[in-house]
Amino acid sequence: MEVRLAQWLLASVFIVMGGFRLWQALHGVATSDITLLLSTGEVVLGVLIAAGWKLRLLTLLAAALLLADAALSHPFWRYAGGQMLATQLLQFMKNMGLVGGLLLLSVAGGAKRR
Residue 107, CB half-sphere, CA atoms under 13 Å: how many? 5
Q: What was the pLDDT predicted at 112?
A: 56
* Cα–Cα nearest to 101, from 15, 9, 14: 9
CB 17 within 8 A of CB 43: no
pLDDT at 2 over 50: yes
| Kind and range of the H or E run holding 80 | none
Distance of CA 13 to the CA centre of its chain: 6
**Prediction pTM value:** 0.87
What whole-number percentage of the chain has pLDDT above 90? 93
Q: How far is CA 57 from CA 19, 36, 51, 76, in A?
A: 22, 23, 13, 29
Q: What distance in Å separates the CA atoms of residue 26 and residue 86, rounded to the nearest whole number?
A: 32
Q: What was the pLDDT predicted at 111?
A: 60
